[in-house]
Amino acid sequence: MLHHPLREPGCMLTGHSVHNQRIERLWRNVFTECTSYYHSIIYSLEDSGLLDKSKEADIFALIFVHMEDVQQQLTLFKDVWNHHKMRTSHNHTTMQQCIM
C-alpha cells in the first residue's frame, strides 16, 4: 500500500493489499460464500455465447435479473460477519465492539 503522511479525509490509499491478510481472507470469503455462484453463471453465459459483455442491454439484463439475489447474499454475509466472535477482541463480536 502507498502511504502519504499528509493525506486528507476522503482520500484513499491505492495499491495491492498483499500485506493485509485479513482483508484478503475476507474478500476470499465474500467470493466463496456470496459471489462465486454468480461468477460461474456469468462465465458460462459468456462461454455459451448468450452474454456479450460489450452490449449494454446484456449487462443491464444481467444486473436486473441477479441484483436483488446478490444483494440478499451480501446482506446475509454482512450480518453473519458482524456477529461473529473475534479471538483478538476478548471474544466480542464486531457489533459489541462498536457499542463499547
φ, ψ of residue 86 in degrees (nearest 5): -115, 125
Beta bridge partners of 92: 86
Question: Torsion over CA of 76, 77, 82 and 86, rounded to 10 degrees?
Answer: 140
Determine contact, residues 39/51, Cβ cutoff 8 Å. no
Q: What is the pLDDT of residue 41?
A: 94
pTM above 0.75, yes or no: no
High-pLDDT (> 90) share of the chain, %:
51
Determine contact, residues 46/58, Cβ cutoff 8 Å. no
Q: What is the pLDDT of residue 77?
A: 92
pLDDT digits (tens, 9 = 90+) for 71-100: 999 999 998 888 777 666 666 666 666 665
pLDDT digits (tens, 9 = 90+) for 2-45: 555 555 666 666 666 566 777 888 899 999 999 999 999 999 99
User: What is the sign, positive or negative, of the torsion defined by CA atoms of 82, 87, 91, 96?
Assistant: negative
The three three-digit cell numbers of residue 99, written as one number = 457499542
The amino acid sitting at 32 is T
